[in-house]
Structure 1
Amino acid sequence: MANPRPRTPPASPADDETPVEGWLPLKPRTLVDMVIEALIAGVARGLILPGDRVVETELAQRLGVSRVPVREALRVLESQGLVINEPYKGIRLMPVSQKRIDDLIEARVALETTAAIRAIREGRNGEREIAILTRCIAELEATRQRNDSYAFANADTAFHRALCRFSGNDVLCGLWEGLARQATIFFGLSALIKPMTEIVEEHRILMEVFRTGDVEATAQALKEHIDEQTHRVDFEGIVAERRAARSRSTETTQP
């Protein structure tokens, strides 16, 4: 059976930076982009785990593409800190560690709090912005019902991307995008063990606080959502459990 080629994921509900009469701008996607998305999807769904080796030829075969876009995709992911290339050891996904989780959380809290506060002070928490966040939450709910951890993670990322874009600060948004793929992976891993209904409700609460325009309450809500709630998820435990289950499955299928 031929290996399926990676498909372009559906447009995010938060990708409408400047919609014209309801139309969403199309964004060109290269084969490299599609390989990156396929790999991120595999991690978010637990098919490949942080710390695993990534063999260029094997990945190309699984995705039904040549090694060239795979090689370039891995270079991009290496520049973003998602894979590491060690001499004599090859390429592997960046392992999960408590320090890395803490660093990601600290950066996200700083960026998203700054973005939300600026958006509120400039009046970008009105009907248009709330409608965008509402669509993101609707997508979270729809993917929850399908139990699709990667699509759910993408909807989660879209919500936070939209919140950053409301700031109107392109530099801040650029910095946040540098963390977006890492965040998507953690969102997906979190959804494998934490009830998705709880995650959806957290986003509803955050949106409602943002709607009020209360700067201090919004900052506290973001800290609760990004920092405290994330720290309640044992990511290292999730990875260890998945790796053990994979080993048991391999032993069972061996003759």
Structure 2
Amino acid sequence: MQQDASEDAPPKQRVQDEIRKDIILGALPPGTRVTETALASKYGISRVPVREALRALEAEGFVESKPYAGSTVSKIPVDDADDLFFVREALESATARRAARRAAAQFDSGAPSVEWWQARKVLAGVLDEGDAAVAQNRLDLLPELNMRFHLGVAELSGSSSLTALLRQISGKIEWLYATDVNTRGKESWTEHRSIMAAIDAGNAAEAEKLMAGHVHQSRQGYLSRFASDPV
């Protein structure tokens, strides 16, 4: 089993990742009051990194803090969903296109780089984990795996700028995905194999088209559901 990278992260980053994950998966629902003392006890850490983590999560939009009222978990960003999906579709279409072009270049060179092979191997593992989760009906595992897949494609693109931009919104995307995972989770996951096949084949136009369609379908499904079922 692959070691969780968060195990080697600094205390603040580790607890920040844990709190964010609990918010995304609903263990800390919107409106929940969160205190440094309670969170320090929950995660077995001192209050200082918790305080720093809450400030960072507030900047990300996961936590709201008000004077004399403390901190609470933010509402799921339904109002921002359309804009987030719009940005995501543009970003991820570009990363898929660039990833396919880079794959073609790697194989044309006759000796793909170790860095590229390692990134592709990680993605293969993510796809296998997701397939197993779907087979076992463990849909709760898909939000994180979905995020890892899409960030993995961005890594394969070789564009540090596009990858950085996607990372900035990846948490919100995972949050939205988690709220809708029982509706489109299985179907959405199976689409990843086709996207990956186009990338491996070096077919930039097809990879771009499939990724754009994949994100667009997620957007349409999410918005049609939550337009009449506000969170």
What is the aligned partner in structure 2 of residue 221 from structure 1? 210
SS at match of 1:95: coil
Task: Give the alignment's Cα RMSD to 1 decimal.
Answer: 3.1
Residue 40 (structure 2) pairs with residue 60 (structure 1): yes
Larger deviation: 218-227 or 141-150? 141-150
**Equivalent position SS for 1:91:** strand
Using the TM superposition, give the Cα deviation of residue 56 of structure 1 relative to its aligned residue in structure 2, in angstroms. 2.4
The verdict on how the C-alpha distance between 1:30 and 1:36 changes in structure 2, with shifts beyond 3 A counting, is same
Partner Cα separation in structure 2 for residue 215 and residue 92 of structure 1: 44
Alpha-carbon distance between aligned partners in 2 of 1:231 and 1:90, rounded to the nearest angstrom: 36
- The answer on whether the counterparts of 1:51 and 1:94 sit within 8 Å (CA) in structure 2 is yes
How do residues 9-28 of structure 1 correspond to structure 2 at under 5 angstroms? 11=3, 28=8
SS at match of 2:34: coil
- Counterpart CA distance in 1 for 2:105 and 2:129 is 22
Provide the C-alpha distance between the structure 1 equivalents of 2:27 and 2:171, rounded to a whole number of angstroms.
16
Residue identity matched to 1:229: S
Q: Is the 8 A contact 2:195 2:211 kept in 1?
A: yes
Partner of 1:144: 134
> Secondary structure at 1:65's aligned position in 2?
coil
Q: Deviations over 1:140-177 (max 9, x none)?
A: 12333555555332221111111101121112212221
Distance of 2:23 and 2:2 partners within structure 1: 18
Shift of 1:90: 2.8
Gaps of 5+ in 2: none
Alpha carbons 1:96, 1:235 under 8 Å: kept: no
Partner SS state of residue 217, structure 1: helix
* Residues in 2 aligned to 1:85 and 1:106: alpha-carbon distance in whole angstroms: 28
1:40-189 equivalences in 2 (<5 Å): 40-122=20-102, 123=104, 128=117, 131-145=121-135, 147-149=137-139, 151-189=141-179
Q: Note if contact 1:84-1:93 (Cα within 8 Å) is conserved in structure 2.
A: yes
**Quick one: distance in 2 between partners of 1:190 and 1:56?**
30
After superposition, what is the alpha-carbon deviation per residue over 1:80-125, rounded to whole angstroms, capped at 9, x for unaligned? 2222223344322231243311222122222222222222233368
Structure 1's 227 and 91: CA in aligned 2 closer, same or farther, altered over 3 A? farther
For residues 11 and 104 of structure 1, what CA distance do their matches in structure 2 show?
Answer: 30
Which SS does the other structure have where 1:184 is aligned?
Answer: helix
Q: CA deviation at 1:50?
A: 3.0
Moved more, 123-132 or 78-87: 123-132
CA 1:182–1:97 in structure 2 vs 1: closer, same or farther (change >3 Å)? closer
Question: CA offset at residue 183 of structure 1?
Answer: 2.4
Query: Does structure 2 conserve the Cα–Cα contact (< 8 Å) formed by 1:50 and 1:239?
Result: no
Query: 1:220 Cα shift?
Result: 2.5
Distance 2:76 2:84 in 1: 11
Kindly indicate which of the two structures has a greater share of residues assigned to helix: 2
**Residues 44 and 184, structure 1, Cα contact 8 Å, conserved in 2:** yes
Kindly report which structure 2 residues correspond to 1:233-248, keeping only aligned pairs within 5 A, or say none: 233=222, 234=225, 240=231
SS of residue matched to 2:33? coil
Structure 1: 5+ residue stretches without partners: 1-8, 16-25, 241-255
> How far apart, CA to CA, are the structure 2 residues paired with 1:130 and 1:70?
35
Separation in structure 1 between the aligned mates of residue 136 and residue 47 of structure 2, nearest angstrom: 33
d(CA) in 2 for partners of 1:98, 1:186: 8
**So what's the TM-score if we normalise by structure 2?**
0.78
Number of equivalent positions? 219
